[in-house]
């Protein structure tokens, strides 16, 4: 449906982008080329089209030369399409009569061959011009945003995001998989570089979550499914049974005392398996909610059906223990989602030469955090498995990070937490500490100063990778499992053997084991290492490709607590902006049916994953519900008669684009 | 088409390639390749579609008819489609097209399907380069020549049409 030739007046604008485009593409000759194409009323080139004078140029030309289509050859439409659409609209032109030719990201930046770049730029420009001739004015589309947020993950990121959202008066559903919120931060003893006690700064926030009327806290729960899109997501949340009624329990913990297991015998995952618990248990003393739970795999009542139920007796008339509790599914409608599912600590047992899992005194950093923590299995004493105090401790940086065999990336926090552990180990045990590092990375407020402080405390720093850890053969006591680290000291230029009683592996941060399932459920992408992908690495760091879904914390990439909290507030801020605006504009690229052409073959109906297409029995044609259509265009591609079309991507537009693309060399 | 043989400037044959990139993964990947200044063959010309599922088989045939030596379709990885599962339909169409292309006189290797996530600029660039290399080995598409030199192709095509006429709703 090409409009009559004489009515089309296309304005073409070619951006130099400084030298980004003009350094590779001859913009002047490109403009001359455009002038010769059908319907082109004028073609200009300008240094920075996105700057105000560039936009003014477009607006002035639209008014002065009565332009009715605009093509801008510049950077990716993902960056400035909205800019030029608005400029066109300001000048009285429908905003959808604008087309962008991507000649920066897809031409100037990806080749050094000027001649071929020029040809490619011509092709992309000709395609955009041919395409825009087929554009039709469209209505802008908006959807409403429900003022309720889902926050997934109750670590410090999720806690912070939930509190910020709730403090702004929004309803928040906070979902946590574990029995308590707190995440990894709750496991730590101190936090670098200030040495704040992690619990002291985290537990007030955990309590605030529990007390806030705007937050519905669902622990021991997972998101089962997510349907819908920005503004109106429908989520199902699966709640595992605790076998303790949260609404009745007052957190006295008498049931744990009363459990028929007289000794704690089951490894506590929160203590990295170093501490023991009973079948009736709570991960740690300050858990929120402070409600114990029953482990169905070890509880005698649940596994064998015969137990004298000391826990029930201890609970007494409160009667909070419910062995008949079932798994339930709760459903919520939310407008926005903050994903804060965190990270997993790298498992170093896959690196054979560090001997983790073989040598009893090789620990991960997370295990040592628990040993140093006053609430941990040793009440804060760093002791060897025989109860003695280590005299010499090795700390190995970059375990699983910066290693082509495991993770290429730097986990960002390990240098600093290794320094913190060095400080704490020296403080608590007086041991000699040897930090073996590749490079020391301390970029942060107060970080370098902390490094200086730890150096002055007498910690030994060895620049080099540890090649091997074996039972000691030197001055260590091999019978007690003392170890020898072989390290290539690159500053001394020689191989050193250092005997130590205990080795701490500073393990990498990596994506959660189920990160792929989680991101698919929320419709977000991941980068090559599996961390969730932000919409733009610099300018949209908490947004995702899914408009209503935001990222906070280490699920997006390894980061420390200050950065996590900042990002969580940023995510909450972006979510609030969306909720307070109350609506969001959608691309009007939905599919529609030409009633006169549709033969009612029903081919399209089965193809739609959103059930947006139905068959009108009376008229015997397909009908598309625009509110349900997400605009993928799959039905359009399948329609044998051409009755299904897609706004902004109809057949004529794509054919014209192809024609333009192939017509000029 | 121009008077000179298409894409024969310079030392080696420069095939003309049309790439349909889905908005969410592969188009973003191409932007990322650009931002990272990753170099790849400039022979490839790009059309953005919202989803690889929008690529009508007729777009592919039209591209060949207009003189493309190769057509590349890129989408989100299976399981990662922004529209839940529409790239699976792309897989089906790709298989169907490959089935048709040989009898029509087009080597099926001239149609390439690539998965590139939004973070895989490097992978997309490498895939494009590999495809362009393949097209260089194949040389320029000589559709009409292939067609005439081998009448058997027409018969093979007719056989497909006969076999599937009902499914394809072709009026007899």
pLDDT for res B15: 96
Cα of A237 to nearest chain B Cα, Å: 20
The answer on A163 and A98 residing in a single domain is no
Length, in residues, of chain B? 172
Q: A351-398, pLDDT tens digit by residue? A: 999 999 999 999 999 999 999 999 999 999 999 888 889 999 999 999
Question: Above 90 in pLDDT, residue A619?
Answer: yes
pLDDT tier, B1 (very low <50, low <70, confident <90, very high otherwise): very low
Q: What does DSSP assign to residue A536? A: B
B66/A658 CB distance under 8 A: yes
The answer on A35 and A166 residing in a single domain is no
The answer on A431 and A384 residing in a single domain is yes
pLDDT for res B142: 85
pLDDT for res B3: 36
B83/A115 CB distance under 8 A: no
pLDDT tier, B150 (very low <50, low <70, confident <90, very high otherwise): low
pTM above 0.90, yes or no: no
pLDDT for res A664: 77
Nearest by CB to A525, from B34, B38, B118: name it: B118
ipTM of this complex: 0.88
* Residue A660 covered by a domain: no
**A656 vs A95: CA distance, rounded Å:** 20
Q: Which of A532, A548, A603, A634 best tests the B interface by mutation, with the highest count of B CBs <10 A?
A: A634
Question: Above 70 in pLDDT, residue A479?
Answer: no
A525/B56 CB distance under 8 A: no
Locate the DSSP E strands across B23-93. 44-49, 70-75
Nearest residue in A to B55, CA atom = A637
Q: Which of A118, A637, A657, A664 best tests the B interface by mutation, with the highest count of B CBs <10 A?
A: A637
| Lowest mean pLDDT across A40-54, A400-414, A533-547, B1-15 | B1-15
- More confidently predicted of A213 and B160: A213
Cα of B150 to nearest chain A Cα, Å: 27
- From chain A residues 61-90, the ones with a CB under 8 A of any chain B CB are 76-78
The answer on A379 and A359 residing in a single domain is yes
**A442 vs B42: CA distance, rounded Å:** 41
The answer on A496 and A376 residing in a single domain is yes
Question: What mean pLDDT comes out for the span A301-307?
Answer: 93
Residue B55: other Cβ atoms inside 10 A:
28
Q: Which of A86, A114, A140 is at the close of a domain?
A: A140
Nearest residue in B to A647, CA atom = B50
Place of tokens 């990272």: B36
Give the DSSP H/E element, type plus range, for residue A499. strand A494-500
Q: How do A392-399 and A432-437 pair as beta strands? A: parallel
Residues of chain A neighbouring B63 (CB-CB closer than 8 A): 658, 662
Q: A160-199, pLDDT tens digit by residue? A: 999 999 999 999 999 999 999 999 999 999 999 999 999 9
Pull the structure tokens for residue A41.
């009323």
Nearest residue in B to A639, CA atom = B56
* Residue A546 covered by a domain: no
Percent of chain A's residues with pLDDT above 70: 98
pLDDT for res B169: 56
Nearest by CB to A124, from B45, B82, B168: name it: B45
pLDDT tier, A649 (very low <50, low <70, confident <90, very high otherwise): very high
Q: Which of A445, A476, A510 is at the close of a domain?
A: A510
Cα of B64 to nearest chain A Cα, Å: 10
- The CATH class, in words, for B17-164 is alpha beta
Q: What is the CATH number of the domain that holds A88?
A: 3.40.50
Q: B118-133, pLDDT tens digit by residue? A: 999 999 999 999 999 9
* Residue A240 covered by a domain: no
Give the DSSP H/E element, type plus range, for residue A454. helix A447-456
Nearest residue in A to B93, CA atom = A638
B83/A662 CB distance under 8 A: no
A601/B24 CB distance under 8 A: no
pLDDT for res B170: 54
Nearest by CB to A110, from B33, B51, B68: name it: B33
Q: A401-452, pLDDT tens digit by residue? A: 999 999 999 999 999 999 999 999 999 999 999 999 999 999 999 999 999 9
The answer on A375 and A275 residing in a single domain is no
Question: What mean pLDDT comes out for the span A331-348?
Answer: 98
- Residue-wise burial string across A194-212, b where 16 or more C-beta atoms lie within 10 A, e elsewhere: eeeebbeebbebbebbeeb
- From chain A residues 475-534, the ones with a CB under 8 A of any chain B CB are 516, 520, 523, 525-528, 533
- More confidently predicted of A136 and B165: A136
Pull the structure tokens for residue A344.
């997993």
* Residue A545 covered by a domain: no
The answer on A164 and A117 residing in a single domain is no
Q: A212-266, pLDDT tens digit by residue? A: 999 999 999 999 999 988 999 999 999 999 999 999 999 999 999 999 999 999 9
pLDDT for res B163: 78
> 3-class DSSP state for residue B3?
coil
The answer on A226 and A86 residing in a single domain is no
Total of domains in chain A: 5
Question: Above 50 in pLDDT, residue A31?
Answer: yes
Its domain, for residue A308, covers 254-318
**B16 vs B2: CA distance, rounded Å:** 13
**A283 vs A288: CA distance, rounded Å:** 10
Nearest by CB to A123, from B45, B51, B76: name it: B45
Residues of chain B neighbouring A637 (CB-CB closer than 8 A): 53-57, 59, 89, 93
* Residue A249 covered by a domain: no
Residues of chain B neighbouring A112 (CB-CB closer than 8 A): 39
B42/A116 CB distance under 8 A: yes
The answer on A476 and A393 residing in a single domain is yes
| Secondary structure (DSSP) of A365-385 | HHHHHHHHSTTSTTTT----T
Residue A457: other Cβ atoms inside 10 A:
13
Question: Above 80 in pLDDT, residue A607?
Answer: yes
* Residue A657 covered by a domain: no
A124/B85 CB distance under 8 A: no
Q: A563-582, pLDDT tens digit by residue? A: 999 999 999 999 999 999 99
Pull the structure tokens for residue B66.
């207009």
* Residue A467 covered by a domain: yes
pLDDT for res B8: 45
The answer on A488 and A637 residing in a single domain is no
pLDDT for res B103: 82
The answer on A502 and A367 residing in a single domain is yes
pLDDT for res A473: 64
Q: What is the CATH number of the domain that holds A502?
A: 3.50.50.60
Cα-based distances in Å from A606 to A76, A411, A622, A624: 34, 45, 11, 12
The answer on A112 and A72 residing in a single domain is yes
């Amino acid at each position: 449906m090409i409009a009559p030739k004489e009515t089309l007046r296309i304005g073409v604008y070619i951006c130099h982008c400084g030298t980004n485009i003009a350094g590779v593409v001859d913009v002047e000759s490109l403009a001359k080329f455009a002038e010769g194409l059908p319907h082109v009323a004028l073609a200009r080139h300008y240094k920075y089209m996105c700057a105000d004078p560039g936009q003014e140029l477009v607006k002035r030309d639209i008014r002065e030369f009565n332009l009715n289509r605009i093509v801008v050859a510049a950077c990716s439409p993902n960056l400035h399409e909205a800019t030029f659409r608005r400029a066109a609209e300001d000048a009285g032109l429908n905003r959808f009569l604008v087309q962008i030719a991507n000649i920066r990201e897809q031409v100037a930046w990806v080749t050094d061959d000027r001649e071929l770049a020029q040809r490619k730029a011509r092709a992309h420009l000709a395609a955009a011009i041919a395409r825009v001739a087929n554009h039709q004015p469209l209505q802008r589309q908006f959807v409403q945003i429900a003022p309720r947020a889902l926050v997934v993950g109750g670590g410090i990121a999720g806690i912070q995001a939930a509190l910020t959202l709730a403090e702004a008066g929004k309803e928040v559903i906070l979902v946590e998989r574990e029995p308590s919120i707190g995440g990894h931060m709750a496991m730590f003893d101190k936090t670098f570089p200030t040495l704040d006690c992690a619990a002291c700064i985290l537990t007030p926030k955990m309590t605030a979550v529990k007390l806030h009327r705007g937050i519905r806290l669902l622990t021991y729960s997972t998101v089962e499914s997510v349907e819908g899109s920005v503004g109106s997501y429908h989520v199902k949340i699966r709640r595992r049974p605790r076998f303790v009624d949260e609404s009745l329990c007052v957190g006295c913990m008498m049931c744990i005392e009363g459990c028929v297991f007289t000794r704690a015998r089951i490894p506590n995952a929160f203590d990295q398996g170093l501490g023991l618990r009973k079948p009736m248990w709570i991960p740690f003393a300050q858990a929120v909610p402070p409600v114990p739970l029953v482990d169905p795999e070890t509880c005698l009542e649940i596994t064998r059906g015969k137990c004298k139920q000391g826990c029930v007796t201890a609970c007494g008339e409160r009667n909070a223990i419910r062995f008949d509790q079932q798994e339930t599914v709760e459903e919520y409608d939310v407008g926005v989602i903050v994903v804060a599912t965190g990270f997993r600590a790298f498992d170093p047992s896959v690196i054979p030469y560090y001997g983790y899992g073989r040598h009893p005194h090789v620990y991960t950093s997370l295990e040592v955090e628990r040993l140093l923590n006053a609430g941990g299995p040793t009440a804060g004493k760093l002791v060897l498995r025989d109860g003695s105090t280590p005299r010499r401790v090795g700390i190995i940086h970059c375990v699983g990070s910066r290693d082509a065999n495991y993770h290429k990336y730097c986990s960002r926090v390990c240098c600093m937490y290794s320094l913190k552990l060095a400080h704490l180990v020296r403080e608590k045990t007086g041991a000699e500490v040897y930090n073996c590092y590749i490079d020391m990375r301390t970029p942060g407020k107060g970080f370098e100063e902390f490094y200086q402080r730890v150096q002055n405390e007498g910690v030994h720093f060895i620049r080099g990778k540890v090649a091997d850890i074996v039972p000691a053969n030197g001055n260590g006591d091999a019978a007690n499992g003392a170890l020898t680290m072989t390290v290539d000291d690159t500053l001394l230029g020689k191989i050193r053997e250092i005997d130590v009683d205990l080795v701490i592996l500073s393990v990498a941060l990596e994506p959660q084991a189920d990160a792929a399932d989680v991101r698919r459920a929320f419709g977000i992408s991941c980068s090559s290492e599996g961390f969730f992908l932000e919409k733009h690495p610099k300018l949209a760091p908490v947004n995702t490709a899914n408009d209503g879904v935001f990222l906070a914390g280490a699920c997006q990439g390894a980061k420390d607590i200050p950065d996590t909290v900042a990002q969580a507030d940023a995510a909450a801020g972006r979510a609030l902006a969306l909720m307070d605006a109350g609506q969001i504009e959608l691309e009007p690229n939905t599919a529609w049916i030409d009633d006169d052409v549709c033969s009612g073959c029903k081919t399209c109906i089965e193809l739609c994953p959103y059930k947006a297409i139905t068959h009108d029995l009376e008229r015997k044609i397909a009908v598309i519900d625009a509110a349900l259509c997400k605009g993928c265009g799959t039905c359009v591609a399948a329609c044998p008669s051409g009755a299904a079309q897609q706004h902004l991507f109809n057949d004529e537009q794509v054919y014209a684009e192809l024609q333009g693309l192939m017509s000029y060399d | 088409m121009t008077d000179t043989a298409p894409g024969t400037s310079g030392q080696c044959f420069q095939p003309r390639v049309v790439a349909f990139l889905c908005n969410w993964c592969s188009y973003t990947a191409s932007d990322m390749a650009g931002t990272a200044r990753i170099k790849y063959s400039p022979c490839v010309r790009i059309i953005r579609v919202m989803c690889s599922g929008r690529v009508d088989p007729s777009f592919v045939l039209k591209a060949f008819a207009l003189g493309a030596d190769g057509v590349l379709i890129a989408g989100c990885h299976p399981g990662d489609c922004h529209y839940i599962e529409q790239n699976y339909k792309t897989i089906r169409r790709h298989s169907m097209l490959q089935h048709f292309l040989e009898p029509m006189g087009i080597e099926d290797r001239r149609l390439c399907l690539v998965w590139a996530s939004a973070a895989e600029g490097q992978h997309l660039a490498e895939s494009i380069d590999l495809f362009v290399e393949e097209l260089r080995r194949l040389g320029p598409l000589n559709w009409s020549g292939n067609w005439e030199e081998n009448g058997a192709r027409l018969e093979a095509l007719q056989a497909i049409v006969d076999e599937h006429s009902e499914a394809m709703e072709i009026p007899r």
